[in-house]
Structure 1
Amino acid sequence: MILVTGASGCLGSHIVRGLLEQSETVAVLVLPNDPASTLQSLRERLVWREGDLLDSASLVHALEGVTQIYHAAGLALPYESERKRMFAVNVQGTVNLLCAARDAGVERILHVSSIAAVGYPTQEADESMIYNGDAFRLAYMHSKRDAEDQVRRFCESGMNIVIACPSAVIASNCDVLHGWGKVMLDLQNRRLPFIPPGGIAVIGAQDLVRGLLAVMARGKSGERYILNAHNVSYLELFTCMAAALAVDSPRWQPRTLGWIVALLRPLDVLLAKIPVRLSADVVALLGRQVHYRSDKAREHVGFAPAQSLEHMVHEAASWLTSR
C-alpha cells in the first residue's frame, strides 16, 4: 500500500489520482477535521488515515501496512511571519514521518521538495547549483533546504529515499489563498499592479505526476531530480493566464525592480512579525530569470514533459472559474 501525505492539497490530490490510475492501493494522510474536498469523490477508493506530521504518535497507525510513501505534505507561504510554522511542518514534520517510516519498515519514500531547495539562479540551473540561501530571507526556501538535509541524513543511515524538486505547479486544486490560484484571481480581478521583468519555471500537474512516478520507480536513493517543463518570462505567463481568464494583462512592465526592493528593505524587521506578501527578497526574486534544467530527470528516469504552457494554464483557469 502507498501512503500520500498532503493528499488533500493541490499536488497531493493529483498524485492520488495518478496512483489510482495505475491501480495502486492508496492510503491518504489527512489532518483530523480536514474536509479534504479534493478527495471526497474518491473516498470509497481510498484508505483513509487521519494524522498530523507534528504528532508522532498519530503516524504509527497511519503507516500500518504501508510499503511506500509519497511525502507531498508541506507548508508553502510567502510570509516571513510564518517562518516558525513552516520550519515546524516542513522540517520537523519530515523528520517525524521518516522516523515513523523507519520504525514501520517502509521500503521506499519519495520526498517532494522544491526548486527553492536547489537555490534561485539568475539564469538556468541544475541539481549541481551551489545553494545561495544566504542571499535571501525566504523562510519557505530555507525550510525546504533544511528538510532535504534531514532526508539525506536518513539516507546515510540506510533508508531508501529519493528526492524530487518540482518547479512552480500550475494546476487545478491550486491554492486560492496564498499560491498560484491567488495570483490568477488577482489577475482576474485586476489586483496585479504590474508584470515583473523576471522569469520563472513552471510545470503542470499531469507532467509532474508522471515525473514523480518515474522518480519513485527509477530514481537513485539520496539523489535529487529537478522536474520542470517550461522556463518562461512573467510576461509570457501572465499574458497566457489573462487570455485563459478572458481579461487584460497588467500594462505596467517595469524594467527593474531595484527601487521597489530598496523601498521595502527597511521593513524587513516588521515583515517578520506581520503577514505581508511582498517583502524585499520576494520582489528581488521577481526580477530574476529563475530557470532550471531537467536533463538529469530526462536521462536517468525518463521524464518527458508534454503539457504546453497554454494547456496547464487553461486547466487551472477552468477549475478556478467553475468554483
Structure 2
Amino acid sequence: MVAFSWDKTTIKTDNGEEKEGIAPVIISASRSTDIPAWHAKWFINRLNKGYVKWINPFNQQPQYVSFDKTRAVVFWSKNPEPLIPYLDEVKERGINYYFQFTVNDYEDEKLEPNVPSLEERIATFKELSNRIGKEKVIWRFDPLILTDNITVEKLLEKIYRVGCEIHDYTEKLVISFADIGIYTKVQRNLKKAGIGYREFREESMKKIAEGIQEINKEWGLEVSTCAEKVDLSKYNIEHNKCIDDDLMVKIFNKDKELMEFLGAEPVNNLMGEKKYVLKKGKNLKDKGQRLACGCIVSKDIGQYNTCRHLCVYCYANYSKNTVESNMRRYDKNYESILRD
C-alpha cells in the first residue's frame, strides 16, 4: 500500500522566498500545544498569510504548510475563549472546524495550574456550543489520572459534576487513561510536584467505564476512548476518532471538496433525501499516531514546549523552565510559533 502524502505546492514566504511545501486538507491545531488558548492571534495571522512554518520536533527541520486546500480544522483546547472572537474569520474563508474541548476537574489537586477556573471553562463551553452548535464541541475528560488523592470513585464524582453542567451542550464525551509510565519527563514532573500516581489497570478502567455507563443514563451522550486498547464496548463505550471522517461527513456534508477527499458519496435514502456516506476502500487512517488511535490523516501545526497551562501530567512540555524560555521567543507575527 502506498503511504499517504499531502499534495506538494510552492509557498511564497513572508520575506519573499519560494519554498516547497505541502497543502493539507485537514489541519490539527493542535495535539502539541493549546493554540486556541495561547496562540489564537498567531493562528489567525498565519491563516491570513496563507501558510505556516512547522518545526519537526525530532530533527528541528522546518516544513512549510499551505492553507490553500484546507477544508477543515480540528481545534484542541482547554480554553478556547481567546479564539472565539476570530471564528467568524475562519468561517469567512470557507473553512469548517470543530473543537476537542477538554474540561477536567483537577482544581483541588492543582494538576492544571494555569487553566481558567472550572466555572469559567464551563461558561466558555456553553458559549461556544451556543455559537457553533453542540455537535461541533466535543467534551473531553482527558486524561483520567489516579493519584494518592484521586480514586476511581473520586474521578467519577468529578465527571458527574462537570457533566451535569455541560451535557446539554455537547453530543459526545471522550476519555483516556493516563499512561504515566511511558513518559519519563511526566514521571519526573509529577514527582517534583509531590504527586504520587498510580497506573490504570484493566480492572480500574472497567470500574470507570461501568460508572460512566450508569451516569450517562441521565445524559444520553456518545462515549468513546481516545487511543486506548482496552475493549469497553459492553459499557457502550467505543474507540474514538478525534480527527473523525464520520463526524465530518455528518456536519460538513455541504463541502463537496471535503467530501471528495474523505471518499464520501451522495446516496438517496428511502425518503428521497440526499445523504453522504463513506465508501469502502479509502483508508485515511493516520499511521503516524499510536496503533490504537483511530484518527484519520491531518497535519498538526503545533509546537511542543509552548503551552503555558503547564499541566503536571502533560507529555507535550518538557518542563516549566523550557516553556518559559521558549515563550520569550514567541512572536504572534512570525511564520512559526517561536522565532528561530
TM value normalised by structure 2: 0.33
More strand by share: 2
Which structure's CA Rg is the greater one?
Answer: 2
More helix by share: 1
